[in-house]
Structure 1
């Protein structure tokens, strides 16, 4: 069984769908084979062990029938599993998110309940007008708490993390703010993000921008 992160699984699914599209949209067999080769190359380049597990299956797929292609896709999907985000303790959440009291308890409870049942790249929720986001990568938790501005309606914009356009209540502007208590100065980075973590997690294919945003305070502290 090949274990994938949620974003890797989304990437894989999108690439595999290109095989079906190539068959339906092109009558040129060479074009279909070229698409297959490109799909396999992209998957091997981005997913460890993919070449080792599926080289023969892709080689045997001649792109000669839709049934053959769908069987390949089904075989690949059945051979992978999505890694769940780990649960978090109150002490860990407090350290990463700087939450306290009821907000901390409520977030930890909601987060741990969700990650038991859903396959995610990150989790987010709104508590007391605060947008709270948390993820886990390479043995570390990353998170942010962003105050939601009141009475601001955002026009259609692109989510920085899943690269999908959202409109109205589906998109929001969040900030990761770093304060310097000694100088009284503030530094911040802001991004547009889906308000619904489920929709975002269904489309996100790379966590690089997410981790970059959530680790802003750590990067700034290293520079100082």
Structure 2
């Protein structure tokens, strides 16, 4: 059996391309244009995995032969069977990521579908804090930020979805160039609903960039 090789954000990207191809089957009348759309989507999917083996390629390639809604549903179900769960993490491990926070509100790990997580995120409404846990190069990292809810929807920096967002600001470990007594703040608009964000994120570059800027010491 082929080992699981698809991360959550990659599955979201594949689903997005699958939806795009399915719409093309209903809206594009020119066969050559339709074929171009199909193979362009296939190429984008393959680019996510530069070192595919033959078995993995066979999991992804059927997008070129899907035609009906059932075909696409079956295709995504098969792809989903090869997704990688978010790595197991305990409450004790999470606490160690935030050693200065003695009253840390922990997420309900048992209620989370780890197969649908790119990052672990949760809110503490009482303190207006939001927490992110991510595995970077096999090591868990944690970021704590203050959030200011907005009254309107906007684009999320992580998933690029048009959702209810909050201005999240985290203090970087890197000191400000203005004065050695001040630390830089790193902020952007992120989804309030981290579950929804995880369902939509297709690229981790902004997520990883945010975490890197916060944890950078210089």
Q: Same fold (TM over 0.5)?
A: yes
SS of corresponding position for 1:84: coil
- What's the Cα RMSD here? 3.1
Distance in 2 between residues matched to 1:215 and 1:144, nearest whole Å: 10
What are structure 1's unaligned runs of at least 5 residues? none
Shift of 1:42: 0.7
Match of 1:54 in 2: 57
Question: Is residue 35 of structure 1 aligned with residue 37 of structure 2?
Answer: yes
Per the alignment, residue 131 of structure 2 pairs with 132
- From 157, 162, 184, the counterpart of 1:160: 157
Alpha-carbon contact 1:7-1:121 (below 8 Å) kept: yes
Q: Distance in 2 between matches of 1:117 and 1:217?
A: 25
Cα offset, 1:206, TM superposition: 1.1
> What secondary structure, in the 3-state scheme, does the structure 1 residue paired with 2:180 have?
coil
Aligned in 2, Cα 1:57/1:82: closer, same or farther, shift over 3 Å?
Answer: closer
C-alpha separation between the residues in 1 aligned to 2:206 and 2:63?
37
Q: Is the 8 A contact 1:6 1:82 kept in 2?
A: yes
Larger fraction in helix: 1
Q: Secondary structure at the match of 2:187?
A: strand
Measure, in 1, the Cα distance between the counterparts of 2:20 and 2:36: 11
1:175 aligns with 2:172: no
- Using the size of structure 1 for normalisation, the TM-score is 0.78
SS state at 1:3 partner: coil
- Runs of at least 5 residues in structure 2 that lack an aligned partner in the other structure: none
Cα distance between partner residues in 2 of 1:205 and 1:57: 16
Kindly report which structure 2 residues correspond to 1:109-148, keeping only aligned pairs within 5 A, or say none: 110=107, 112-115=109-112, 117=114, 119-127=116-124, 128-129=126-127, 130-148=129-147
Q: Which residue does 1:96 correspond to in 2?
A: 97
Whole-Å Cα distance in 1 between the matches of residues 115 and 43 of structure 2?
A: 29
Cα gap change, 1:125 to 1:210, in 2 (>3 Å): same
Q: What's the TM-score once normalised by structure 2's chain length?
A: 0.79
- State which of 188, 191, 201 in structure 2 corresponds to 1:191: 188
When residues 207 and 184 of structure 1 are mapped into structure 2, their CA distance, relative to the original with a 3 A threshold, is same
Would the aligned equivalents of 2:59 and 2:78 in 1 still touch at CA under 8 Å? no
Larger radius of gyration: 1
**After the TM superposition, which of the residue ranges 111-120 and 198-207 deviates more from structure 2?**
111-120
Matched ranges for 1:74-89 at <5 A: 74=76, 76-77=78-79, 79-88=81-90
Q: How many residues align?
A: 210
Q: Does residue 10 in structure 1 map to residue 12 in structure 2?
A: yes
Partners in 1 of 2:115 and 2:61 — Cα distance? 30
Structure 1 position 19, deviation (Å): 2.0
Deviation at residue 88 of structure 1 after TM alignment: 3.7
